[in-house]
Structure formats: C-alpha cells, structure tokens
Amino acid sequence: APRLILVLGDQLSPGLSALRAADRARDVVVMAEVQAEATYVRHHPKKIAFLFAAMRHFAEELRAQGWTVAYTALDDPENSHAIGTELLRRAEAHGAQEVIATQPGEWRLIEALGALPIPVQQLPDDRFLCPGGVFEAWAEGRKELRMEWFYREMRRRTGLLMEGDQPAGGQWNYDKENRKPPPGALLVPGRDDPAPDAVTEEVLTLVEARFADHFGSARPFGFAVTAAGAQAHLNRWLREGLPLFGDYQDAMVAGQPHLYHALIGLYLNAGLLDPLTVCRAAEAEWRVGRAPLNAVEGFIRQIIGWREYIRGIYFLQGPDYAQRNILRHERDLPQLYWGGATQMACLKTVVQEVEEGAYAHHIQRLMVLGNFALLAGVQPAQVQDWFMGAFADAYEWVMSANVIGMSQWADGGIVASKPYVSAGAYIDRMSDYCAGCAYSPKVKTGPKACPFNLLYWHFLDRHRERFEKNPRMGMIYRGWDKRDEDTRRQILGEAADVLARLDAGEGV
Ligand code: FAD
Ligand code: DLZ
Ligand code: SF4
C-alpha cells in the first residue's frame, strides 16, 4: 500500500526529510490549502497568497519529477479544511495506512498529528542547522542561554567565516560597526517585482475574496513563489544590498522599509531558500572582495546564530512559552496597530508599511512596534497574535522567542538580559521619523512630549523592584532619582494620561 507523505505549506524543500524517506514510485504526497491553517491566526493576505502560490508551484515541480501529489485547493468542494482530516480523507481514498511527515514547526500541529487515528511518523526537520538534541545539549546546565556563545558554536560547526579554529578577521562579531544612523541621501538597491503568473493570479483572486477581513491585502503582490524566483531575488541582493547591510542594519527610513535588508525571511521559512546555501553565498561575496566582513559576518550571524537560537529556545521551552507573561501586562493592544488614528509618526509609518508589504525590518519590529507595546504594558499574547497576523515570514517557532522573549521580556529574561525599551531619542537617532511628527523626542513633558519618553519612565517606575538591581539598568534608575520630585510626578501623570487615552480607544 502507498504511504502518505505530508508536505506542509512551510516545507517546500525538495530535500525535505519526509520526501527523502519516501518512494516516489509508490507513495502519495499530500498537500492541502485549509481554512484551519489560514485562520488559526488571521494571517496577512500576502502571506496566505505567498504560501498557497508557492505550494501550487511546488506541487507542479514534484509532479514533473514523477511524484504523485494529492493536492487540495482551498476551494475544492471536498476540502475538509484541516490538515488532519485531509490526511484521513486521502488515506481512505488511496488505501494508505501510515503517514510520513517532517515535524511541523509548531506544537499545535505536532500534537494534532500525534493524535490522529492513523500512525504518523514525524521525522526531524533537518533543514535547520542545529538539530534539536544539539541545542538541548548546548543549553544543558548553562545559567544563561546567550546567543553569542551559541553563535560561536555554530560558526565552528558550519565552518562559516572560519580560518582554522579562529574567526575570520580575528573577531567573532562586528556589531559595533553596524549601528550607523541613516545617511542623508540613500541609494537603496532596487527590487524585482516579479509579475504573477497565471497560477499566482488565481491564488491572488481567491485570497482577496476569502480573506478580505484580514489586515492588509494580497495585491500588489511582489513576492517570488518558487525556489528559482527566490534565488534570483537573493542573487540581486547579494550584489546590491549585502555590501551595506552591516552599516545600516539598524537604520529606519520612512518609505524605505527594506533598506539594505535581504527580505528573505519568508523564503527561508517556507523552504524556498536553504539557510546554509544562503550563508555560503554571502561568505563567497566576502572572499572575492565584493562585500566587507562586517556586513557578511552580521548577515551570517542572523541566520546561523539568531534564527537557529530562536528556534532552539521555542522547542526547549515547551508549548506554554507563547503564553508567558512575567511582567503581568494585561492592556489590550491599541487600535493604532490596526491602522487606527495616531499622531506618532514612527508607529503610523511602520504600521502602514506592514499593512502594505507584510514586512518591517528587525529594528522596526523591536524598537518601534515591540518597544511601544512593552512600554504600554500590552498583554504579550495579544502582541504575539498581532505579529503573527502582520508579517509574511511569521511562524510560531520564530515568533515566540522574538516576541515573547526578546521584544516583550515576558519570559523573564531567557532571551534578553534586559528589556528592549527606549525613549524617543533612540528612534530619533536611528530614523528620519521624528522630523514629521506631532511630538518631539526632545520634549519631556507637556502636549509635545514624545509618548515614548513618558511611557519609558512609567515602565521603569512600575517595574522598579524587578529591574533596579539589574547591573545594566541601575544607572538609569539613579539618574531618574536625581530629578526633582515634581518633574517625576508630572512625567508619570502624563504617561498615565497616555495610557488612559489608549484604553479609551482614543488616538495618541
Ligand atoms: P535580514 O535583516 O536581511 O536578515 C536575514 C535573515 O536572518 C532573516 O531573513 C532571518 O531569517 C534571519 N534573522 C534575523 N534576525 C532574526 C531573529 N531575531 N530571529 C530569527 N531569524 C532572524 N523573523 C521571522 O523570520 N519570522 C518572524 O515571525 C519574526 N518575528 C519577529 C518579531 C519581532 C518582535 C522581532 C523583534 C523579530 C522578529 N523576527 C522574525 C526576526 C527578524 O526581525 C526578521 O527575521 C527579519 O526582520 C526578516 O527580514 P529580512 O529577511 O529582511 O532579514
Ligand atoms: C501558515 C500556513 C497557512 C496560512 N496555510 C497553510 C495551509 O493551508 N496548508 C498548510 O499545509 N500549511 C499552511 N500554513 C503553514 C502551517 O501553518 C505551518 O506548517 C505550521 O504553522 C507550522 O509551522
Ligand atoms: Fe515616534 Fe516620538 Fe519620534 Fe514622534 S517624536 S516619531 S512618537 S519617537
């Protein structure tokens, strides 16, 4: 009897472990576009369209290679709209008695597959560079799970940017060279805007009709939907973007959401690009002298360091990780995250760019979107849900440690030794947003005071007991305590007003 080979929407890799374990002459590949996956969070329509279009193209490639593919389109009348029930339906139709899968990237689906009345073998997802057991062994017995130490292990493991057992250039990390503010005139690399083919057009129309009530829209589209398309996008970026990736990694410019970032998260996470191949290509740019070491090291660190570490933490911490809320933040997510009125130019710009492109780069996510939610005391699970529904590269395995851990400090400091909070001065230094804002980052109180300034002190004041003794934060508290009492009271009072306006659903 044939076996069913499950290929999920983010497993579109020809070398997937489930496909390697299969026999193409005998087994049946199952792929399904289902409501359960498309709506368990309200994903951005661009993300849904990207995945469905990429799934359809991938199925065609498999068929061309001789595989039998049982593909369920979203609007198939027979569609039962969940991965598990589709497997059962196909098992019955093909007389299959077992399923081979590659382990999904989410506890929810791992558990759902495990609970099916048909045996499902879940093979490790070895598209990642750090196998589960290796991360656990690394974490075992360590007081602190710092990314930097993990990253060095990964450099040794992969041999990337290594000269013998030494890091290329003599340093492991060139981050201090990577914090330049945006330059005055910027020549940002162009991007291909691949015209959707007929298959993608059909998906775009379907997604527009079915998910009109989600945040954002499917068109204009602009993403590649095949491995070859993603590779072409990467090749162009390696030449035009990578050389300045390091310098301006943290810079933010209105109207230029990508700057020198690679915009490959969605391709890596869906399986259209392979992380090690991408890193080797970047390394080669350095070796031939087309890109500087600070850029290439910074980029490789994001992929073999951060990306693998973030996933390791998610699986190490277990299914409850996304529910953590150490700081007991319970505020509802302000309307401005859904495009509601706000006078804050930074948030308004970034939210609008996310709505349009399903994308923001790391510092926009961390220091604008995440920072404000943390300062305002928003419930971390709501923040996570919003991020899941806003980005084309969003998956729980990568979202959780970034949102719950890094951005909201809701895990009590596993990922970040201190919370990523800042007042308006940071955003002013790293962006051009403040020039067009109703508020001023330099004003500390009164109607023009930047809400980041007010809420920053409110956050520190309400969590004094927890953070005062943090060696990296004590200085900040001492500076605050030196201010006269009236100023402190005024700042906290105005911050409370901002929070009350958010709670009342009013624009800030
Ligand atoms: P580049 O800046 O060009 O970096 C290259 C690649 O490095 C990325 O594509 C990504 O694969 C990897 N990378 C970099 N930083 C991280 C990181 N912290 N964690 C994991 N991978 C990283 N990344 C996602 O892939 N999906 C998410 O859902 C996601 N949510 C995030 C939420 C928050 C609050 C924060 C602070 C970060 C989040 N990130 C997420 C990480 C990072 O912001 C994105 O990977 C990156 O912005 C994607 O854009 P890019 O492809 O242009 O990346
Ligand atoms: C994200 C997503 C969406 C929107 N739709 C589907 C789908 O219809 N079929 C499918 O197989 N996968 C989809 N996915 C990806 C899964 O949600 C993903 O595999 C899990 O979240 C684990 O990462
Ligand atoms: Fe954002 Fe404050 Fe700058 Fe306005 S002044 S753009 S609110 S940081």
pLDDT tens digit sequence for 323-379: 999 999 999 999 999 999 999 999 999 999 999 999 999 999 999 999 999 999 999
Range 465-498 burial, b when 16+ CB lie within 10 A, else e? ebbeeeeebeebbeebeeeeeeeeebbeebbeeb
Q: Is 336 in the pocket of ligand 3 (CB under 6 A)?
A: no
Q: Is 44 in the pocket of ligand 1 (CB under 6 A)?
A: no
Which of the listed residues 433, 445, 455, 508 should we mutate to test ligand 3's pocket, taking the one with most ligand atoms within 8 A of CB?
A: 433
CA-nearest of 223, 225, 256, 258 to 242 is 258
Omega within 30 of 0 (cis) for the link into 181:
no
Q: How far is CA 379 from CA 50, 107, 237, 375, 376, in A?
A: 29, 21, 37, 11, 9
Judge contact between 181 and 434, C-beta under 8 A.
no
The whole-angstrom separation of Cα 403 and Cα 380 is: 8
Residue 253, token pair as written in the block: 């410019």
* Protein residue with least CA distance to atom 2, ligand 3: 450
**Ligand 2 pocket residues where CB is under 6 Å:** 8-10, 32-34, 37-38, 43, 48, 51, 83, 104-106, 109, 395
Kindly tell me the burial class for residue 170, based on how many C-beta atoms sit within 10 Å of its own C-beta (0-12, 13-18, 19 or more).
exposed
Q: Is 452 in the pocket of ligand 3 (CB under 6 A)?
A: yes
Q: Is 424 in the pocket of ligand 3 (CB under 6 A)?
A: yes
CA-nearest of 445, 435, 355, 365 to 398 is 365
* Average per-residue pLDDT for the chain: 96
CA 366 to centroid of ligand 1, rounded, Å: 10
pLDDT band at 181 (very low <50, low <70, confident <90, very high): confident
Q: What is the mean pLDDT of residues 33-40?
A: 96
Q: At what angle are helices 147-158 and 308-317 packed, to 10 degrees? A: 120
The whole-angstrom separation of Cα 118 and Cα 127 is: 26
How many CB atoms are closer than 10 A to CB 195? 9
Query: What's the pLDDT score for residue 132?
Result: 81
Residue 34, token pair as written in the block: 């289902």
pLDDT band at 316 (very low <50, low <70, confident <90, very high): very high
**Nearest-ligand number for the alpha carbon of 428:** 3
Give per-residue pLDDT as tens, 267-310.
999 999 999 999 999 999 999 999 999 999 999 999 999 999 99
Position in ligand 3 atom list of the atom nearest CA 345: 6
* Protein residue with least CA distance to atom 6, ligand 3: 434
pLDDT of 440 above 70: yes
Position in ligand 3 atom list of the atom nearest CA 344: 7
Q: Is 426 in the pocket of ligand 3 (CB under 6 A)?
A: no
pLDDT band at 185 (very low <50, low <70, confident <90, very high): low
CA 94 to centroid of ligand 3, rounded, Å: 59
Share of the chain above pLDDT 90, in %: 95
pLDDT of 187 above 70: no
Write down the CATH number for the domain with range 335-503.
1.10.579.10
> Beta strands 68-72 and 120-123: pairing type?
unpaired
Share of the chain above pLDDT 70, in %: 99
Domain ranges of the chain: 4-123, 132-189+241-317, 335-503
The whole-angstrom separation of Cα 71 and Cα 86 is: 10
> Beta strands 166-167 and 4-6: pairing type?
unpaired
Q: What is the mean pLDDT of residues 217-235?
A: 97
CA 76 to centroid of ligand 2, rounded, Å: 17
Which of the listed residues 398, 403, 414, 421 should we mutate to test ligand 1's pocket, taking the one with most ligand atoms within 8 A of CB?
A: 398
Query: What's the pLDDT score for residue 188?
Result: 74
Q: Is 451 in the pocket of ligand 3 (CB under 6 A)?
A: yes
How much is the pTM? 0.97
Query: What's the pLDDT score for residue 395?
Result: 98
The CATH class given to the 132-189+241-317 domain equals mainly alpha
pLDDT of 186 above 70: no
CA-nearest of 495, 507, 322, 348 to 421 is 495
Residue with tokens 């959707």: 196
**CA 292 remoteness from chain centre:** 26
CA-nearest of 232, 223, 249 to 45 is 223
Residue with tokens 């656990």: 136
Query: What's the pLDDT score for residue 259?
Result: 92
Q: Is the dihedral of CA 477, 480, 485, 491 positive or negative?
A: negative
**Nearest-ligand number for the alpha carbon of 11:** 2
> Beta strands 99-102 and 120-123: pairing type?
parallel
* Least trusted range by pLDDT, from 254-258, 298-302, 386-390, 404-408: 254-258
pLDDT of 45 above 70: yes
Beta bridge partners of 100: 5, 121
Q: Which residues contact 471 (CB under 8 A, 6 or more apart)?
A: none
Which of the listed residues 146, 314, 371, 393 should we mutate to test ligand 1's pocket, taking the one with most ligand atoms within 8 A of CB?
A: 393
Instruction: Say whether 365 sits in a helix, a strand or coil.
Output: helix
Q: Is 264 in the pocket of ligand 1 (CB under 6 A)?
A: yes
The whole-angstrom separation of Cα 156 and Cα 138 is: 13
pLDDT of 447 above 80: yes
Judge contact between 252 and 363, C-beta under 8 A.
yes
Q: What is the mean pLDDT of residues 102-119?
A: 98
The whole-angstrom separation of Cα 179 and Cα 305 is: 19
Which of the listed residues 6, 10, 215 should we mutate to test ligand 2's pocket, taking the one with most ligand atoms within 8 A of CB?
A: 10
ipTM reported for the complex surpasses 0.90: yes
What's the CATH number of domain 4-123, 1.10.2020.10, 3.40.50.620, 3.30.300.90, 1.10.357.10? 3.40.50.620
Phi, psi of 416 (to 5 degrees): -120, 125
Give per-residue pLDDT as tens, 49-88.
999 999 999 999 999 999 999 999 999 999 999 999 999 9
Instruction: Say whether 331 sits in a helix, a strand or coil.
Output: strand
